Amino acid sequence: MVAPIRQPEDKPGAIPREWLEEFDAAARRPIAQRLRYAFIKTYKPVLDDAPYRSFNSMAEYRAWCEANLPSWLGYGRV
């Protein structure tokens, strides 16, 4: 059993009581249920449109990412 996390609410930067209660409730759930709801499938344009892609080099892969993927996906060079 997981011990609840407690923190005084009057401290600056304290975690809100509601958040702690939600965390405690989640920690009591079985691991299979926690894993089932832990991941959210999000469609990624272009990346999810083909079952697979292969490249001969990392440079070729990076060039493809920069030319084809939206910048908000974070695959471009900084």
| Whether the Cβ atoms of residue 23 and residue 17 lie closer than 8 Å to each other | no
Cα 51 to chain centroid distance, Å, stands at 22
Q: How far apart are the first and last CA of the chain?
A: 44
The fraction of the chain above a pLDDT of 90, given in percent, is 49
Which pLDDT score, from 0 to 100, does residue 24 have?
94
Question: What digits encode the pLDDT tens for the residues 41-66?
Answer: 888 889 899 999 999 999 999 999 99
Q: What pTM was computed for the model?
A: 0.48
3-class state of residue 71 by DSSP: helix
Mean pLDDT value of segment 5-13? 64
- How distant, in Å, are the alpha carbons of 45, 52, 63 from that of 70? 8, 18, 13
